[in-house]
Structure 1
Amino acid sequence: MANTRAAWARSHAKLDSDTIADAIRPLVEADPSIKVKSIITEVQSRFNYTVSYRKAWLTKQKSVVKVFGDWKVSYQTLPVWLKAMTAKMPRSRVQIKTLPVYRESEEVQGVRVLHRVFWSFYPCIVAFRHCKPLVQVDGTHLYRKYKGALLVAIAQDGNQNIVPVAFAIVEGETADAWEFFLTNLRRYVVTIDGVGIISDRHNSIDAAIARSNGYSRTEQEYNKNYQRLQERGEAYMHWCDEIGVDRWVLAFDGGHRWGHMMTNLVECINSVMKGARNLPVTAIVRFTFYRLNELFTRKSAEAHEHVRNGFTYSEFATKRVEESFRRAGSIVVNRFDRRNEVFEVREMPDGSIYTINLAQRHCDCGHFQVERLPCRHVLACCANQRLDWQVYVHDVYKMSKICKVYRGEFVPMGDPSTWAPYEGAKVIANWTLRRTIKGRPKSTRYLNEMYSRDMRGSRRCTTCGKEGHSRSRCPQHAGPSSTGGQS
């Protein structure tokens, strides 16, 4: 048995981490967040050899460096890449904020420390103009060698698809960093007034509040939910009173949130960006570039295919209107003015009464003004007076509008040798953000007596199979020359 194990180990003597790193490179390039267990499975499948967890972890780190570059070099190439990108897509927006470098109280010329960087690709800027006037913003921590945060702004098209519109890498989620991001977002992307912004600034709210009370679309619903909130405890009630109902109740938000209460859209993109958080800075920017190019290319083709198939509105809007039509048959309609603007309807058989003002795009049920789609009460009024219900569908849901969201095209970057020379200052990392922990993160598990060496038993060599020594000190590992070198 020992001879078999020794022969097995010698047959894989050259299967070091560099060899494995080259073998798994396509996997890491496709998914930087690939799990170590998946790498172990891949090595087992390709080489019929089970690599240790530590070796697989080290292999992944080497492969990441080979695919996405070294951290130190990445900071230097960031302004080079961004300059080339803006040269190929001139109306893209980039803002880099750097800090001076000092040596013995004297500023070092030609070298700057990267502090913050904001970027938004021109196709994304164009896309936002045809999305819902709403953005969700959030931040996610960066991992690996340097601390920091990736800030993201997300919009949504008329078919419920998320559209990332702006990014920033900052030192952390500080007030100054958020001011930097939101100022540039407002200056370059969200250039119109009346746009709603949703963030997680109140993420400490109790789960019961976030789950139910915020979705009060009418004042009556709000009063009922507020009473329930008061029953839970006065602390919840006072906390919400300090926020203001316009910030957490749909019935009082003026329709700016379009039915969204939480940062669920940006959380979706954060899951997509999870793998990129382990990468050097330039690789993160490149990651957003190529992922968005893929998104715009695919969604543009889908939108034009729907237009060719005769769809006037998005799938989301079509399903909502069809559902409302099915529920509009048992509604009694009463008109209250000659201009066909004000109606009162009664739902049968429960007898609920709602007032509708078509001119103001308002219905007591709240759905009409929140989603900008005709609710069942509006559809009943239109059917009763033979009005065109399509007039009351917001333009954002039209397929022609969705096609405009993705009409912007990304431009290939080409080989770096074809780029114009970069003549700016050399950019380096902020050494104060460097993490001190090296290698694989240490486990924080409490180790009891079961993990002690006495309980685990004596060490066993993986080459010869004998106890009392490791593979590095095995006599067989050194070979015959280890005993015959002296005469």
Structure 2
Amino acid sequence: MRDVKHNFGCTIHYSKAWKARELALLSIRGSAEEAYYILPAYCYELERMNPGTKTDIRTDENNHFVYLFMAVGACIRGFLSSMRPVIAVDATHLKSKYKGVMFVANAFDGNLNIYPLAFGIGDLETDASWHWFFTKLHEAIGECPNLAIISDRNVSIENVWNKIFPTAQHGICFYHMKGNMKRTCKLKKRDHILMHFEKAAKSYSIAEFDCHFRKIKRKEHVAQYLEEAGLHKWSRAHMDGRRYNVMEHVAQYLEEAGLHKWSRAHMDGRRYNVMTTNIAESINSDLRFARMLPVVHLIGEIVNLLVKWFTERRELALNCTTTLCPNFGEKKLRNRLEDAARMNVVKVNNAQYNVLDGDMDGLVDLTNNSCSCRKFQLEQLPCKHVVAVCCFLKVSVYAKASRYYTRKTWMDAYSDSIYPVQPHGMWDTPEDVRSRVVLPPMARVMPGRRKKLRIPSQGEGSIRRKCSRCGSEGHNKSTCKNNIPLRNVS
């Protein structure tokens, strides 16, 4: 409406401007129905341009679209050769005409960058859809040793993951766990219990975990919590109601969820530093506009994003001059070198050394590549105790780091190129692919504009702070420039 007024000097109604916009987009992208018709040909071209790519389209008995799976060959090869065996899975809603859900499976490279592995499209987050996605993911990567799958507490994921990956370990995103705990146990955002829960989840050793978990159960927190909640809300003397011990309720909730699910110390396998599904959430955010597009254009935007990331990170790896990846391995080792300089190393025997750090100390065994703090085993990167022993023996600390963090492995992960699919007019597809019929899904198309912003869960909303000097929002007293009226002094 503004552009027409500026360019032509006339005013048009909102509905006319909206219809003109929809016609313009239709002429550029085509309709949502056409996107499903050309989907088989697009997948064929994607596989032809990128060898090793796995795509699959599932339809019902009437040829209506049900599921789509896509994993680019370069991503599969890079994950199997160069990535730590940890996959974060998540799903997000699509905003196109037929809606649906997009499934994502991502990993972390050695430089803490998102490494997309596979994508899927389905109708809803059900047992059947997650089972199909995990089945196709297993066909793409095979039986991966020491695999860990990190997700939120979606019931469907809990029901199906171990049927497809029976030897894998399953961990819960501790951020989602914390949000569920706040909502279920009625905790405040800055409650001390949440702080101890976060420290317990990130602990490496059982002793460190037990220290924080005991503080969650500690009785002296009960009085503080109940007073902050308001005496009239829980006290039998102030209100007729049921009293219960809040801390025991929290501890029971965490134990029922499974300590091995959310605690790094109790997990049987390794989840390294992947404690949340933020990598999956981040890629959902990067594709927030693409999720409004028809299905073929959505897949095209995903491929274009992969092309961009692989090119940029390949250049970064080629120009890197450090032994380890700069954003994680090199940065952590430099910090630990500073800490190790203040520690004393006592030789126990030719293989074991006791490192005195002034806190819990650490017993390092170079034969088994282990440390009593367990950070070395779970991260596969030398902890400060191992760094101190390496300095004491005058050996290279880099030799103790896992190959996942080295510059060479980082380069290998992005060594293959990803090629985008050419425009539709340049496709050369065989007759059997062109003749396959894929109709839009059997979904009821609701009128009106699709919602673009997700509804935040309880506790996720932004905090609106006020200036303690003037009472206005948007700044604090240190940056306040508002005039304060003088008070009358009698």
Scaled to the shorter chain, the TM-score interval is 0.7 to 0.9
- Would the aligned equivalents of 1:97 and 1:117 in 2 still touch at CA under 8 Å? yes
Out of 176, 181, 193, the position equivalent to 1:206 is: 181
Out of 352, 355, 376, the position equivalent to 1:342 is: 352
Counterpart in the other structure of 2:396: 388
* Cα displacement (A) at 1:356: 1.7
Identity %: 27
Which AA in structure 2 matches 1:277?
R
- Would the aligned equivalents of 1:147 and 1:434 in 2 still touch at CA under 8 Å? no
Which AA in structure 1 matches 2:139?
R
Query: Match of 2:333, SS?
Result: helix
Counterpart in the other structure of 1:135: 87
Shift in CA distance, 217/61, structure 1 to aligned 2, threshold 3 Å: farther
Counterpart in the other structure of 2:251: 237
Counterpart in the other structure of 2:460: none
Supply the distance in 2 between the matched residues of 1:421 and 1:428 (Cα, whole angstroms): 19
1:421 correspondence with 2:373? no
Give the 5 Å matches for 1:301-380.
301-306=315-320, 310-315=321-326, 316-338=328-350, 341-347=351-357, 350=358, 352-380=360-388
Shift in CA distance, 259/56, structure 1 to aligned 2, threshold 3 Å: farther
- Would the aligned equivalents of 1:64 and 1:279 in 2 still touch at CA under 8 Å? no
Segment drifting more, 412-421 vs 422-431: 412-421
- Would the aligned equivalents of 2:86 and 2:274 in 1 still touch at CA under 8 Å? no
Shift in CA distance, 95/345, structure 1 to aligned 2, threshold 3 Å: same
- Would the aligned equivalents of 1:57 and 1:440 in 2 still touch at CA under 8 Å? no
Residues 206-262 of structure 1 deviation map (CA, whole Å, 9 limit, x = unaligned): 252764431122212211221233345223222222232221111122452112221
Query: Match of 1:261, SS?
Result: coil
* Cα displacement (A) at 1:182: 1.0
- Would the aligned equivalents of 1:333 and 1:346 in 2 still touch at CA under 8 Å? yes
Shift in CA distance, 393/53, structure 1 to aligned 2, threshold 3 Å: farther
Out of 428, 446, 456, the position equivalent to 1:436 is: 446
Counterpart in the other structure of 1:78: 39
TM-score normalised by length of structure 2: 0.73
Between structure 1 and structure 2, the one with the greater Rg is 1
Residues 307-366 of structure 1 deviation map (CA, whole Å, 9 limit, x = unaligned): xxx32211021111111111111111112222xx3211112xx45422122333322333
Supply the distance in 1 between the matched residues of 2:5 and 2:199 (Cα, whole angstroms): 49
- Would the aligned equivalents of 2:36 and 2:439 in 1 still touch at CA under 8 Å? yes
Which AA in structure 1 matches 2:141?
V
1:399 correspondence with 2:407? yes
Counterpart in the other structure of 1:147: 99
Aligned pairs, number: 385
Counterpart in the other structure of 1:300: 314
1:174 correspondence with 2:182? no
Counterpart in the other structure of 1:289: 303
Residues 151-196 of structure 1 deviation map (CA, whole Å, 9 limit, x = unaligned): 0001111000101110000111111101111111122125422111
Supply the distance in 2 between the matched residues of 1:48 and 1:212 (Cα, whole angstroms): 62
Which AA in structure 2 matches 1:356?
V
Which AA in structure 2 matches 1:174?
T
* Cα displacement (A) at 1:48: 8.2
Counterpart in the other structure of 1:97: 58
Counterpart in the other structure of 2:477: none
1:226 correspondence with 2:187? no
- Would the aligned equivalents of 2:88 and 2:151 in 1 still touch at CA under 8 Å? yes
Counterpart in the other structure of 2:76: 125
* Cα displacement (A) at 1:59: 5.2
Supply the distance in 1 between the matched residues of 2:17 and 2:265 (Cα, whole angstroms): 54
* Cα displacement (A) at 1:44: 7.7
* Cα displacement (A) at 1:436: 2.1
Residues 417-437 of structure 1 deviation map (CA, whole Å, 9 limit, x = unaligned): 441234242110122x23222
Supply the distance in 1 between the matched residues of 2:310 and 2:290 (Cα, whole angstroms): 19
Supply the distance in 1 between the matched residues of 2:278 and 2:5 (Cα, whole angstroms): 38
Counterpart in the other structure of 1:114: 65
Residues 397-445 of structure 1 deviation map (CA, whole Å, 9 limit, x = unaligned): 11111111111112343343441234242110122x2322235779xxx
- Would the aligned equivalents of 1:145 and 1:434 in 2 still touch at CA under 8 Å? no
Q: Report runs of 4+ in structure 1 exceeding 6 Å deviation.
A: 42-53
Supply the distance in 1 between the matched residues of 2:369 and 2:8 (Cα, whole angstroms): 66
Residues 70-90 of structure 1 deviation map (CA, whole Å, 9 limit, x = unaligned): 101111011110012112223
Supply the distance in 2 between the matched residues of 1:46 and 1:261 (Cα, whole angstroms): 53
Query: Match of 2:98, SS?
Result: coil
Supply the distance in 1 between the matched residues of 2:346 and 2:11 (Cα, whole angstroms): 76
- Would the aligned equivalents of 1:150 and 1:170 in 2 still touch at CA under 8 Å? yes
Which AA in structure 2 matches 1:319?
K
C-alpha RMSD over aligned residues: 2.6
Supply the distance in 1 between the matched residues of 2:11 and 2:371 (Cα, whole angstroms): 65
Segment drifting more, 148-157 vs 84-93: 84-93
Shift in CA distance, 87/221, structure 1 to aligned 2, threshold 3 Å: same
Query: Match of 2:47, SS?
Result: helix
Which AA in structure 2 matches 1:428?
L
Segment drifting more, 419-428 vs 137-146: 419-428
Shift in CA distance, 47/304, structure 1 to aligned 2, threshold 3 Å: farther
Counterpart in the other structure of 2:275: 261
- Would the aligned equivalents of 1:258 and 1:370 in 2 still touch at CA under 8 Å? yes
Query: Match of 1:312, SS?
Result: coil
Shift in CA distance, 244/290, structure 1 to aligned 2, threshold 3 Å: same
Which AA in structure 2 matches 1:155?
A
- Would the aligned equivalents of 1:94 and 1:117 in 2 still touch at CA under 8 Å? yes
Supply the distance in 2 between the matched residues of 1:212 and 1:61 (Cα, whole angstroms): 51
* Cα displacement (A) at 1:388: 2.6
Which AA in structure 2 matches 1:66?
S
Supply the distance in 2 between the matched residues of 1:303 and 1:65 (Cα, whole angstroms): 41
Counterpart in the other structure of 1:274: 288
Shift in CA distance, 89/233, structure 1 to aligned 2, threshold 3 Å: same
Shift in CA distance, 97/221, structure 1 to aligned 2, threshold 3 Å: same
Gaps of 5+ in 2: 154-171, 183-193, 219-245, 453-490
